[in-house]
Amino acid sequence: MTHSPLPACWCADANLQASLSKQDLAAWRDYIALQELVTRLPIVIWLMSPDLKQLFYKSPGCEVLWDVPSSTETGCFWLTGILDEDAEQVTFTQEQALDKGILKDTVELEYRMVDPQNRTCWVSVRLFPIRDAEGKVEGVAGIGEDITQRKNTEDALKYIIHQQTLVNAIAQRIRRSLEIEAILETTVQEVQNLLLCDRAFLYRLDFDWSGTVVVEALRSPDYSLLGRRLTDTEFIANYVELYQKGRIHVVDDVRQSNLSECYIHWLTDLQVRANLVVPVLHDEELWGMLVVQECEQPRSWQAFEIELLQQLAVQVAIAIQQAELLEELKTTNTELQQLATLDSLTQVGNRRCFDEALPQEWEKMALSQAYLSLVLVDVDFFKAYNDTYGHPAGDECLRTVAQTLRTAVKRSTDLVTRYGGEEFAILLPHTDANGAVQVAGEILSRVRKLKIPHCQSKVSNHITVSVGIITTIPHPGLSYEDFVKRGDQALYEAKHQGRDRMIFAEYPEFLA
């Protein structure tokens, strides 16, 4: 048989105090003091039978936290109003603590419920057994507390931490990208995903402070502004300097704002209902704007959302600077590469350029089983020309011949190089013997037409050239070193036979 753990006098009427013994009166006064203390505490307490079926006592706050009449004496009243999605787990946890219908272990519950004011709130309930000197459970004490504020604070903190984690991850992805277009596209897409807004875009400013929407991310294609050139006259007139100093523009509801009628009309035409604009400052100059907008409904922009957008704008500026530096570095490297493979005198490729290109073209033609031709050109009696007309004239002669060779080739893949001294080498990929001979013939003809005087030449009164030609389809039985060697032999033969002519190296093993 269960019994109340409270003294019988705790249930007595105050009018009967005069009839109480000193001991019972002291207990009554202790009870009154405890009741007042419990009323002031932010928690509610109750006492029940070990089987949770009989209520002995509940503090006044129970009626406030739960819709429980003061006459309630039985049942798990603390489960009143619990949300369906939490009920199953809470009931299961509570039942797990019961042993043959008696609460033997402490139970801690957190769940959502609808309170008497019809508000959804979070509640914490702890049930723990009260044992006698022998360890027998003679009652159960309950403590309840509204933890909604704590939960909201925890959720807000978790959300902020989550958002900050996302921002850091976005920043890393932005910084990893080295292409400006990819950086900008990544930024607006991540912002739109992060803030769940209708529209996010980057607006790049021009010299006249008008600008263009260069990238965007949308909830619906109906909100697109991509490529639109926007001229915000109010911004140009009043806000450029402020944005250069880091001004943030926040409008929760365009229709209820203190903006000018003209500006409200302009924003409305662009389907803007709520607007958040953060400047992107690059090298302390206003590069553009990072903008997020709601198109249909107002939105109360939160402080942490504004701060996160500012952080992203800073990351974008850093990434843009890095991308621009990379572009400059690429340009510089390209220029250096060109200088390293360019003959400074004639402005055609140098010997290094030829030595690097030959094995590459050899491999390409071998894979595709296509023709590769080499034309070697030597200016006839050039030492005598230098001795007669001087080195400046000799340099000008080589420059003129080099440019003439460039005009004689037809394809962008054909490569003219200065092979050494007064000798030039021309690589002709995908060119068979007939094509190579045609190019060589053009070279001989065009050099003759230059009519550069050469009184010491033994074959003409003008500058002439000798040409050696070799053609093959590369295959494993051949090497490009032998290929060049046979071309040299053809050039030597052209000189030996009287110069101002071309010789084609007709070696059977080199012909396809």
The CATH number linked to 458 is 3.30.70.270
| pLDDT, position 28 | 55
| pLDDT, position 9 | 42
pLDDT digit string (tens) for 337-363?
A: 766 888 989 999 999 999 999 999 999
Give catalytic residue positions. 422
SS3 string of 322-366? HHHHHHHHHHHHHHHHHHHCECCCCCCECHHHHHHHHHHHHHHHH
pLDDT digit string (tens) for 2-13?
A: 444 444 444 445
3-state SS class at 7: coil
Does the residue 273 lie in any domain? yes
| pLDDT, position 313 | 87
Question: What's the CATH number where 311 sits?
Answer: 3.30.450.40
171 and 134 housed in the same domain: no
Looking at the predicted structure, is the pLDDT value of residue 207 above 60? yes
Q: Which of 27-36, 279-288, 312-321 has the highest mean pLDDT?
A: 279-288
DSSP type of residue 409:
-
Closest by CA position to 475, among listed 512, 508, 504:
512
Q: pLDDT-derived band of residue 279, with 50, 70 and 90 as boundaries?
A: very high
390 and 307 housed in the same domain: no
Percent of the chain surpassing pLDDT 90: 47
| pLDDT, position 69 | 62
| Side chain identity, residue 30 | D
Does the residue 373 lie in any domain? yes
86 and 197 housed in the same domain: no
Q: pLDDT-derived band of residue 274, with 50, 70 and 90 as boundaries?
A: very high
357 and 308 housed in the same domain: no
Does the residue 52 lie in any domain? yes
Percent of the chain surpassing pLDDT 70: 87
| Side chain identity, residue 216 | E
Does the residue 361 lie in any domain? yes
DSSP type of residue 109:
E
Query: Any idea which of 150-159, 480-489, 501-510 has the lowest mean pLDDT?
Result: 501-510
Closest by CA position to 36, among listed 61, 54, 72:
61
240 and 378 housed in the same domain: no
Does the residue 8 lie in any domain? no
| pLDDT, position 336 | 74
Measured at the CA of 259, the angle between CA 237 and CA 309, to 5 degrees, comes to 85
> Which two structure tokens, joined as six digits, stand for 280?
């992107």
Across the range 130-151, mean pLDDT stands at 90
Residue at which a domain ends, from 77, 112, 146: 146
Residue at which a domain ends, from 128, 146, 164: 146
| pLDDT, position 349 | 92
The structural domain count of the chain equals 3
Across the range 62-91, mean pLDDT stands at 79
142 and 158 housed in the same domain: no
133 and 214 housed in the same domain: no
Looking at the predicted structure, is the pLDDT value of residue 141 above 80? yes
299 and 403 housed in the same domain: no
| pLDDT, position 111 | 93
| 205: containing domain | 154-326
Looking at the predicted structure, is the pLDDT value of residue 483 above 80? yes
Q: Which residues pair with 426 in a beta bridge?
A: 375, 416
Give the span between the Cα atoms of 323 and 346, in whole angstroms: 35
Across the range 443-449, mean pLDDT stands at 96
111 and 158 housed in the same domain: no
Query: Any idea which of 55-59, 121-125, 254-258, 278-282 has the lowest mean pLDDT?
Result: 55-59
Question: What's the CATH number where 119 sits?
Answer: 3.30.450.20
For residues 467 and 247, the model is more confident at: 467
SS3 string of 128-157? EEEECCCCCEEEEEEEEEECHHHHHHHHHH
| pLDDT, position 7 | 46
Distances (CA, A) of 385 to 24, 393, 456, 464: 136, 8, 7, 11
46 and 84 housed in the same domain: yes
Looking at the predicted structure, is the pLDDT value of residue 32 above 60? no
Q: pLDDT-derived band of residue 316, with 50, 70 and 90 as boundaries?
A: confident
Residue at which a domain ends, from 146, 162, 184: 146
Does the residue 440 lie in any domain? yes
393 and 504 housed in the same domain: yes
3-state SS class at 401: helix
Does the residue 337 lie in any domain? no
Does the residue 442 lie in any domain? yes
162 and 81 housed in the same domain: no
Across the range 435-463, mean pLDDT stands at 95
